[in-house]
Amino acid sequence: MSDEKNLSDDLNDMLGDAKEGAKKAADKAGEFAEEAKEKAKEFANEAKESANEFAEGAKETFESENKKLVCGIVAILIGSLGIHKFILGYTKEGIIQLIASIVTCGIAGIIPFIEGIIYLTKSDEEFYNTYQVGKKGWF
């Protein structure tokens, strides 16, 4: 009977140790989970801030008054239609460009190609002051 009692006590001790070990492991896992949760919140907040900054920058770019990039690309690609002139608000020059391209069978398309290159090589401020504020219609 004493062997059975010792065996029972040993089993109870082992069971108690196992329970205690499991509790410690669960507590440690809980701590790790809390740390991970906090780090995830910090990361999410940083990601939100970065996304908001990017969105604001993109919005400023698309809504800006400076139309240099759009006009330069349009002038190079389909400038013979005079669209870049219409974008800048030069209706008369746009119509002249369109008519000149039709009359010369597209040969006058070299003019907007050159204009597009000029637009893209100017600084943003110089382009804005020359073509949008100063209203310089050609070159």
What are the pLDDT tens digits along the chain (139 aa)? 566 667 777 777 788 788 888 888 888 988 988 998 898 889 878 888 888 887 777 666 555 567 888 899 999 998 889 999 998 888 999 999 999 999 998 898 899 999 999 999 998 888 888 888 877 777 6
Show the domain range for 7.
Answer: 1-63
Token pair of 80 as six digits: 């013979």
Q: Residue 132 carries which DSSP code?
A: I
Residues in the chain: 139
| Residue at a domain's end among 27, 46, 63 | 63
96 within some domain:
yes
Are both 87 and 116 inside the same structural domain? yes
pTM for the full predicted model: 0.53
SS3 state of residue 89: coil
139 within some domain:
no
Are both 28 and 43 inside the same structural domain? yes
37 within some domain:
yes
* CA distances for 93 relative to 67, 87, 98, 107, 112, angstroms: 17, 11, 9, 17, 11
Token pair of 57 as six digits: 């920058």
- What domain count does the chain have? 2
- Tally helices (H) and strands (E) across the chain: 6, 0
Rounded to 5, what percent of the chain is helix, strand, coil?
85, 0, 15
